[in-house]
Amino acid sequence: MKGVAVIGLKKSGKTTVAEALVRELARRGYRVAAVKHAHGGLTLPEADSTRLYRAGAAEVIAVSPGETEHVASRGKQLWEALSLLRGYDYVVVEGFKSAFPGMRIVAARTVEEALKFKGPLVLAYSGPVASLRPRPELPAPVVDALGEPGRLADLVEERAFEVPPALDCGFCKYKSCIGLATAIARGEATIRECTVLASPVRLRVDGEEIALNPFVQDVIANVVRGVVATLKGVPEKPSKIEIEVTG
């Protein structure tokens, strides 16, 4: 799953830019997911499902033949959202400017505002700043998301990469997922250097993914494979082993 974040200050046009990019990527045939950082909590619609939630239901799922709405009282961190969306072609994230480990599009109203965000992870500037005339010179291309959605999507197709998990496990030499993402953007690394995504072992405890260092990965994999190899009816070289422990 490749990803890009639309970041910027409040009221800088982030949602407009993200909406235009999602629409263009979907038009090109990609399966696109989106994540929005809702700082002040969610504004829920006046619907029957919301009434059930406000009545005290910890989780509500409204199901129809074409759509599903899911509201829960438990919040999620960015890494959890990214983990849930790994099956998509692209994820467009709105916000998380200090946490998203991938390429960014900066939405800004002025040149001064735009220049608060720069570096190897910035692939473009958009928002109201792109409507200024003459068009300003900035460290990355300035693109009008509404007038030039194709150009913005072209840049995303060209520069976006598979997003590190945002776990900041510290097991790779870059010490953080943003550190790895920065190295990838500079052409100095690849996503294959992510210890978590490259791991043949995934551990979840009560639904939360636990980062494993390479030594622990090897121990778990070798022990489980050794035990499974002694069991009757098991293929000689199984491609995938799943274990669930409850209680």
Enumerate the H helices of the chain as residue ranges. Answer: 14-27, 48-54, 78-84, 111-114, 149-159, 177-185, 214-229
Tell me the CA distances in angstroms from 142 to 24, 48, 132, 151, one per residue in order.
17, 43, 10, 10
How many Å apart are CA 145 and CA 147, to the nearest integer? 6
Query: Any residues with CB less than 8 A from the CB of 147 and at least 6 apart, and which?
Result: 130
pLDDT at residue 189 greater than cutoff 90: yes
pLDDT tier at 24 (50, 70, 90 boundaries)? very high
pLDDT tier at 75 (50, 70, 90 boundaries)? confident
pLDDT tier at 126 (50, 70, 90 boundaries)? very high
Q: Write out the two tokens for 182.
A: 């920065």
pLDDT at residue 70 greater than cutoff 90: no
Mean local confidence (pLDDT), 36-63: 85
How many Å apart are CA 221 and CA 84, to the nearest integer? 23
Tell me the CA distances in angstroms from 153 to 3, 186, 227, one per residue in order.
12, 20, 49
Task: Find tokens 């405890």 and name the residue.
Answer: 205
Computed over every residue of the chain, the mean pLDDT equals 92
> H or E element: which one contains 238?
none
Predicted model pTM: 0.85
pLDDT at residue 89 greater than cutoff 80: yes
pLDDT at residue 53 greater than cutoff 90: no
The domain locations on the chain are 2-162, 166-247
How many Å apart are CA 222 and CA 67, to the nearest integer? 43
pLDDT in the model for residue 45 = 79
Higher pLDDT: 29 or 75? It is: 29
pLDDT at residue 71 greater than cutoff 90: no
Superfamily of domain 2-162: P-loop containing nucleotide triphosphate hydrolases (3.40.50.300)
pLDDT at residue 46 greater than cutoff 90: no
What is the b/e burial string over 47-71, where b = at least 16 CB atoms within 10 angstroms of the residue's CB?
eebbeebeeeeeebeeeeeeeeeeb
pLDDT tier at 42 (50, 70, 90 boundaries)? confident
pLDDT in the model for residue 43 = 76
pLDDT at residue 208 greater than cutoff 80: no
Task: Find tokens 């958009």 and name the residue.
Answer: 126
* Nearest CA among 92, 73, 72 for reference residue 82: 92
Handedness of CA 216, 220, 221, 226 (dihedral sign): positive
Mean local confidence (pLDDT), 165-175: 91
Please tell me which of 54-68, 88-102, 232-246 the model is most confident about, judged by mean pLDDT: 88-102
